[in-house]
Amino acid sequence: MYQPVLSIDVSKSTSYAAAFLSYEKPHLKPFSFSHSPGDMDNLISCLASLEEKTSIKPNVVLEATGNFSKPLVEFFENEGYRVITLNPLQTHQQKKKSIRKVKTDPVDANRIAQVYYLSDFKLRNKVDNSLLDLRNLCRQYEGFNALYTESQLRFRSTLDLVFPNYDTVFSHLCCKTSLNLISNFPTSKADLIAALKVSRLGDTWSNKMADKLISAAKESLPIVSSHESNLQVLKNYLEILLTHQKILTQLRDQILQWASLQSDYELLCSIPGVGFLTAATILGEIGDICNFPSSKQLVAFAGLDPSVYQSGKFTSTNNKISKRGSTYLRKALYQATVAAISNRKKGPVNEILFEFYSKKKSEGKASKVAIIAACSKLLRMIYGVLKNKVPYTVN
């Protein structure tokens, strides 16, 4: 029985493809092609040849290689072909089975086809473009937020040289009032009060803060020898921080706009502890919930499933999570769980998760281990809410 496939070993601009009629029945030997319109049209001709030979529409299979594979996946899907993306771990395991240590692009193209034929792949629903946009925006936000955090640390380090006691007055160094104050570099009390008024907290607060700043300055011992260069560096970091804040604000607005288009977004926000940013990230990373037949598969997708080690009569009981899923999803779940188990004046944010976390703690689990267990619990809640299309309720 024919089972045609075009397997591709993806590289940046030039990749290798191999065409098969069925398992161990090659149609064409591995050949190279560039990611140009002309060569991509030749691949479509190759797929048409496979279909003509077998009377079955072939599939396209390739490794998930980040940005290199994404344009190819989109191209073939737009042409109406089913594209199967393999986890690199799958092809790596196949390579380890080979006695000879061989690593070439033509061999890898054949190996990808072999993994496809020896595995049972189920048809997955194509993720809607709006969800892909949401996923991309959330990941960009995560990246810029990491840069912003690093810039804050460098800014604080330089500020400690210029004004060592400044952080005793402003606990949040990068708030609007603090950055406005530093950017103006006021020297008199009147100028200090004028710079502090952007907070709109009133004259009494501004006078009090100005006195604190003057007192802190008198008690400080700054670096004098390189004062001018440190001031310039401080101004540079100030510009970077303001730029990052503007970008992050714009991204948050765009994320909220795209998330509000999804009917499942409000369902996720109904879960106590899940904020609008974490809900958007979770929704973008999961995509279509119908691609996960069970909550167990979703937990594995997040990399929260426990690793298993067994040899002979020995079975390990101290297993860590696999961490082989989406890091973005895992981080969003961790943040949501920490928020959910917070105990406020009115009680826990999410009573069910708090009780589950407390139970794990009472069993002798470390705090982080208990939080990870609660993450899995939260993900199963999310699965139930999305699968049943009903808001979260406490039974």
Let me know if residue 394 belongs to a domain: no
Q: In whole angstroms, what is the distance from residue 332 CA to residue 89 CA?
A: 24
Report yes or no on whether pTM surpasses 0.85.
Answer: no
CATH number at 64 reads 3.30.420.40
Q: Which residues of the chain have pLDDT under 70?
A: 89-105, 122-123, 307-319, 395
Let me know if residue 395 belongs to a domain: no
Judged on CB neighbours under 10 Å (0-12, 13-18, 19+), 279 is buried
Task: Supply the angle between the helices 203-218 and 189-196 in degrees, to the nearest 10.
Answer: 130
Does 116 share its domain with 143?
no
Let me know if residue 175 belongs to a domain: yes
Secondary structure (3-state) at 83 = strand
Does 226 share its domain with 337?
no
Predicted pLDDT at 314: 42
CB-based contacts of 257, cutoff 8 Å, min separation 6: none
Does 372 share its domain with 295?
yes
Predicted pLDDT at 142: 95
Residue range 258-270, pLDDT digits in tens: 999 998 999 999 9
Does 155 share its domain with 192?
yes
**Domain containing 17: what range?**
5-123
In sequence order, what E strands does the chain have? 5-9, 14-22, 25-34, 59-63, 83-86, 310-311, 314-315, 343-344, 347-348
Q: In whole angstroms, what is the distance from residue 179 CA to residue 196 CA?
A: 10
Q: In whole angstroms, what is the distance from residue 17 CA to residue 75 CA?
A: 15
Let me know if residue 215 belongs to a domain: yes
Q: How many domains does the chain have?
A: 3
CB-based contacts of 264, cutoff 8 Å, min separation 6: 283, 289, 386, 389
Predicted pLDDT at 213: 86
Does 255 share its domain with 137?
yes
Predicted pLDDT at 123: 65
CATH number at 172 reads 1.10.287.4070
Domain's final residue, options 95, 123, 151: 123
Let me know if residue 102 belongs to a domain: yes
Domain's final residue, options 100, 123, 146: 123
Let me know if residue 250 belongs to a domain: yes
Does 254 share its domain with 267?
no
Neighbouring CB atoms inside 10 A of 53's CB total 14
Residue among 216, 173, 213, 179 at smallest CA distance from 193? 213
Residue among 45, 41, 64, 61 at smallest CA distance from 53? 45
Residue range 175-218, pLDDT digits in tens: 888 888 888 877 778 888 888 877 777 888 888 888 888 888 88
Residue among 245, 33, 286 at smallest CA distance from 151? 245
Does 329 share its domain with 230?
no
Let me know if residue 393 belongs to a domain: no
Does 30 share its domain with 93?
yes
DSSP state of 270: T
Does 100 share its domain with 24?
yes
Does 349 share its domain with 374?
yes
CB-based contacts of 271, cutoff 8 Å, min separation 6: 336, 340, 350, 378, 381, 382, 385, 392
Let me know if residue 249 belongs to a domain: yes
Predicted pLDDT at 319: 64
- The amino acid occupying position 10 is V
Domain's final residue, options 238, 259, 280: 259
Does 379 share its domain with 333?
yes
Does 186 share its domain with 282?
no
